[in-house]
């Protein structure tokens, strides 16, 4: 046996209905909010993320699956979606093509992290981005959409955390304040943090080393260093969230691990996920489109981990719209009628199964049970003689006889009743 690569996982039939539910709920929600789907390649140029995600981030420094391809180009498996969507927005001039560029994407992402429950090397995200709108109402809309996603999936105990990390006008002063506040304590932090203090002090907040946390908790808060424009913007985001009745907490620790964020950042935690309890995260990235060679357009978005949504969803959230039917045949003559019935049911849009090796009726019924069939449609010589089908309710054992001519309508009615 050749096993799967460490940190990757198969999504098996027993689990896939939960994935489908996340996908269908989010797809419907995104469309209600006016977002259009985009699918971009999984491989991109390495420099897209070096420039986009940021040279000093953990993702770029430690976690990228980057390689030189046979043509000598530096390629990477995408570690996140935002730079790819920015690239597509610029490359295809989506600003011209769309009334408002509001995009969403589903797909696998790749990061060489230490695998554990809820953390993989190939994982999946759903990602939402809006380009070109700086009004705080759009920050609130994106957060409202994220909140709606988590609540519609029934995820227990969601907690929204927000912050503002300022802009290029106010951020340098905040960075200096961080370094000044640390003073000589910087030598007590881990080697990564000492490097961060010199290159990009904000990244100190990403540190996960337990011994460093007390010092980091005591650091200054970015909201106290915002310029007037950022302060007004953040106050307005809070006002919108209050108006929508979405509960939130402001956390100065929430600077997010990527370099492009400006102003609003947010995360939703919850779902009793233990250590890996961040379900989704995002924020505003006002300089990124320009940095990646596009026009000077602002942007905001978020990414949710689909594995974590699936783990956090309550157990009864599978698809409930299935009515599996099982066709059983007794005897060779009945088998042909049964095959025709099976095909008619499927053509009529119904889910129908049959056991081709159909031995005894008992073994066929066993199979029907394993398939969780709601009804068995049984054909034998007796039914053939009167042009009928026996319809057995698998839950109650109750059995009726229905005319073959009306059986499709009969099953359609059962399915309609089932879905109500
Ligand atoms: P990020 O792109 O780091 O902001 O992550 C956004 C969301 O993606 C997180 O809140 C997680 O739900 C999910 N996520 C990030 N990294 C992983 C991973 N290695 N495995 C599973 N989910 C992840």
**DSSP states along 359-392:** -SHHHHHHHHHHTT-SEEEEE-HHHHHTTEEEEE
What pLDDT sits at residue 394?
Answer: 95
In this structure, the residue with its CA closest to atom 20 of ligand 1 is 119
Q: Which residues pair with 205 in a beta bridge?
A: none
Q: Among the atoms of ligand 1, which is closest to the Cα of residue 113?
A: 19
In the reported structure, the alpha carbon of residue 304 is separated from the centroid of ligand 1 by a whole-number distance in angstroms of: 7
- The Cα–Cα gap between 35 and 18 comes to 23
What pLDDT sits at residue 95?
Answer: 93
In the reported structure, the alpha carbon of residue 328 is separated from the centroid of ligand 1 by a whole-number distance in angstroms of: 47
Using an 8 Å Cβ cutoff, are 32 and 24 in contact? no
What pLDDT sits at residue 100?
Answer: 87
What pLDDT sits at residue 416?
Answer: 86
In the reported structure, the alpha carbon of residue 105 is separated from the centroid of ligand 1 by a whole-number distance in angstroms of: 14
What pLDDT sits at residue 153?
Answer: 95
What pLDDT sits at residue 260?
Answer: 84
What pLDDT sits at residue 109?
Answer: 98
What pLDDT sits at residue 89?
Answer: 97
What pLDDT sits at residue 90?
Answer: 97
What pLDDT sits at residue 419?
Answer: 61
What pLDDT sits at residue 241?
Answer: 98
Pocket flag, ligand 1, residue 63 (CB < 6 Å)? no
In the reported structure, the alpha carbon of residue 121 is separated from the centroid of ligand 1 by a whole-number distance in angstroms of: 10
- Counting as low any pLDDT under 50, the low residues of the chain are none
Structure tokens at 21: 């539910």
Q: Which residue has the tokens 């977002």?
A: 35
Q: Among the atoms of ligand 1, which is closest to the Cα of residue 309?
A: 12
Among 243, 172, 182, residue whose Cα is nearest residue 217: 182
């Amino acid at each position: 046996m050749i096993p799967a690569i460490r940190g990757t996982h198969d999504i098996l039939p027993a689990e896939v209905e939960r994935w489908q539910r996340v996908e269908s709920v989010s797809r419907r929600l995104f469309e209600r909010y006016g977002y259009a789907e985009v699918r971009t390649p999984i491989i991109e140029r390495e420099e897209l993320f070096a420039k986009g995600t940021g040279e000093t981030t953990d993702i770029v420094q430690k976690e990228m699956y980057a390689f030189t391809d046979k043509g000598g180009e530096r390629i990477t498996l995408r570690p996140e979606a935002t730079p790819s969507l920015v690239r597509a927005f610029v490359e295809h001039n989506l600003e011209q093509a769309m009334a408002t560029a509001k995009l969403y994407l589903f797909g696998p992402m790749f990061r060489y992290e230490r695998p554990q429950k809820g953390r993989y090397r190939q994982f999946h995200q759903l990602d939402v981005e809006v380009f070109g709108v700086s009004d705080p109402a759009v920050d609130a809309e994106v957060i409202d959409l994220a909140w709606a996603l988590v609540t519609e999936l029934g995820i227990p105990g969601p907690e929204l955390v927000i912050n503002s990390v300022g802009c290029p006008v106010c951020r340098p002063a905040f960075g200096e304040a961080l370094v000044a506040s640390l003073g000589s304590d910087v030598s007590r932090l881990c080697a990564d943090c000492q490097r961060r203090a010199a290159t990009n002090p904000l990244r100190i907040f990403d540190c996960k080393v337990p011994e460093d946390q007390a010092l980091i908790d005591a650091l200054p808060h970015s909201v106290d260093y915002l310029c007037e424009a950022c302060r007004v913007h953040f106050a307005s985001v809070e006002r919108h969230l209050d108006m929508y009745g979405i509960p939130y907490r402001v956390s100065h620790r929430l600077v997010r691990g990527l370099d492009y964020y400006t102003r609003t950042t947010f995360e939703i935690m919850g779902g009793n996920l233990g250590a890996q309890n961040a379900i989704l995260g995002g924020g505003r990235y006002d300089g990124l489109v320009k940095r990646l060679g596009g026009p000077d357009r602002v942007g905001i978005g978020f990414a949710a981990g689909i594995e974590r949504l699936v783990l956090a969803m309550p157990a009864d959230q599978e698809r409930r719209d299935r009515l599996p039917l099982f066709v059983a045949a007794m005897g060779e003559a009945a088998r042909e009628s049964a095959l025709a019935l099976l095909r008619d049911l499927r053509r009529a849009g119904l889910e129908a199964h049959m056991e081709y090796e159909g031995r005894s009726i008992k073994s066929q019924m066993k199979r029907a049970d394993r398939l969780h069939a709601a009804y068995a449609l049984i054909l034998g010589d007796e039914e053939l003689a009167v042009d009928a089908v026996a319809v057995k309710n698998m839950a109650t054992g109750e059995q009726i006889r229905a005319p073959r001519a009306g059986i499709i309508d009969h099953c359609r009615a059962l399915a309609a009743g089932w879905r109500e």
